């Protein structure tokens, strides 16, 4: 039984109790404590509740702001002096105050504890209140998850044109990567086909038969000496790096009256081959070369004009 308040100082507005530092009268079985708002009625029940919970830290927080001293209390309970140092000896109190209502009466409708009227859906008892709070927390999490899933469901539905339930019923495929690779190959082939179809269609080609003027080969060299031709041909084969009759033709034109070789300056009078050069490169040979070049030039000009 709570018998007497011996001392209660530095606990919010409580700084003294009675003229001798404690209450003048002992408590009975039923006691009425009254006072104005802010007189400390709720503070008294608060400190008794903290003694129940053995919460020394929160008891120390009840010290008023204007002092640095720690709270001091000394209660006579069942013949024992209960102070901050002897909390373990304190019996359990049954306290019915606003904190008890907040901890043991719960409404999912969120009615304020100051409006304790017309409670329909509520839980009574601390354990029930804690469980109900856990249930409401889980419900809130489910609601948040549902709200997060809605845009994802809408995106899946627009992507696959199926509901979530229809997507769930799609059979599992363990070789999905292989199937995707095959589909990608088909897609590449299809793109290639489409690219081929976009190409310009083939058109018929007109066939033109080419004409060949054989008159260019009509010039004859009947006047060339057969012996001279054989000698010169043999000489070119033995002494020339390549067949070059033009070199012989141009060389004859460069010989002066001195009859010396324009290349080595030696006399050509005793040359065993020079006389054959003169017979080989005759006027008919020169005329044939000129005619061949003329006709070849005419043919090229005709092609360019076309």
Q: 239 or 84: whose pLDDT is higher?
A: 84
Measured between alpha carbons, how far is 17 from 5 in angstroms, rounded to an integer?
8
The predicted model gives 62-77 an average pLDDT of 85
Q: Tell me which of 6-10, 144-148, 214-218 is least confident.
A: 214-218
Half-sphere CA count of 76, side-chain side, radius 13 A = 12
Q: Where are the domains of the chain?
A: 2-95, 111-171, 215-304
Task: Judge whether residue 218 has pLDDT over 70.
Answer: no
Measured between alpha carbons, how far is 62 from 13 in angstroms, rounded to an integer?
9
Classify the C-alpha dihedral 18-24-29-35 as positive or negative: negative
Q: pLDDT band at 22, cuts 50/70/90?
A: low
Candidates 150, 121, 147, 154; CA nearest to 135 is 121
The 10s digit of each residue's pLDDT in 126-147 is: 667 777 778 888 888 988 988 8
Measured between alpha carbons, how far is 75 from 43 in angstroms, rounded to an integer?
15
* 133 three-class SS: helix
What letter would DSSP give residue 14? B
Q: Can you give the pLDDT at residue 192?
A: 82
Task: Judge whether residue 216 has pLDDT over 70.
Answer: no
What's the whole-model pTM score? 0.36
Q: 189 or 232: whose pLDDT is higher?
A: 189
Contact between 192 and 199 under an 8 Å Cβ cutoff? The reply is no
Contact between 281 and 248 under an 8 Å Cβ cutoff? The reply is yes
E-only strand ranges, the chain: 2-9, 72-77, 80-82, 105-107, 122-124
Q: Please, what is the average pLDDT of the chain?
A: 75
Token reading at 110: 């969120």
Half-sphere CA count of 122, side-chain side, radius 13 A = 19
The 10s digit of each residue's pLDDT in 29-61 is: 888 888 888 888 888 888 888 888 899 999 888
Contact between 241 and 187 under an 8 Å Cβ cutoff? The reply is no
Task: Judge whether residue 275 has pLDDT over 70.
Answer: no
Q: Tell me which of 29-33, 38-42, 214-218, 237-241 is least confident.
A: 214-218
* 9 three-class SS: strand
Candidates 22, 24, 14; CA nearest to 45 is 14
């Amino acid at each position: 039984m709570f018998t007497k308040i011996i001392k209660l100082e530095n606990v919010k507005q409580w700084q003294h109790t009675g003229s001798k530092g404690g209450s003048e009268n002992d408590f009975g079985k039923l006691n009425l404590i009254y006072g104005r708002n802010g007189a400390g009625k709720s503070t008294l029940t608060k400190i008794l509740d903290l003694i129940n919970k053995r919460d020394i830290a929160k008891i120390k927080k009840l010290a008023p702001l204007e002092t640095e001293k720690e709270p001091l209390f000394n209660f006579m309970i069942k013949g024992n002096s209960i102070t901050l140092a002897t909390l373990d000896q304190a019996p359990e109190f049954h306290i019915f105050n606003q904190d008890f209502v907040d901890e043991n009466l719960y409404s999912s409708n969120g009615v304020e504890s100051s409006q304790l009227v017309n409670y329909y859906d509520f839980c009574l008892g601390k354990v029930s209140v804690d469980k109900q709070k856990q249930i409401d927390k889980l419900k809130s999490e489910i609601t948040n998850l549902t709200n997060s899933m809605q845009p994802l469901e809408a995106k899946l539905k627009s992507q696959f044109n199926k509901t979530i339930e229809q997507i769930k019923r799609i059979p599992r495929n363990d070789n999905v990567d292989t199937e995707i690779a095959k589909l990608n190959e088909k897609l590449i082939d299809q793109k290639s086909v489409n690219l081929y179809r976009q190409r310009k269609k083939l058109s018929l080609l007109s066939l033109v038969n080419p004409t060949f003027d054989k008159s260019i080969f009509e010039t004859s060299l009947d006047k060339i000496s057969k012996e001279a031709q054989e000698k010169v041909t043999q000489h070119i084969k033995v002494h020339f790096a390549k067949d070059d009759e033009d070199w012989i033709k141009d060389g004859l034109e460069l010989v002066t009256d001195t009859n010396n070789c324009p290349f080595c300056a030696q006399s050509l009078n005793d040359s065993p081959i020079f006389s054959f050069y003169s017979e080989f490169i005759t006027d008919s040979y020169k005329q044939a070369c000129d005619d061949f070049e003329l006709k070849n030039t005419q043919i090229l000009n005709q092609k360019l004009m076309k």
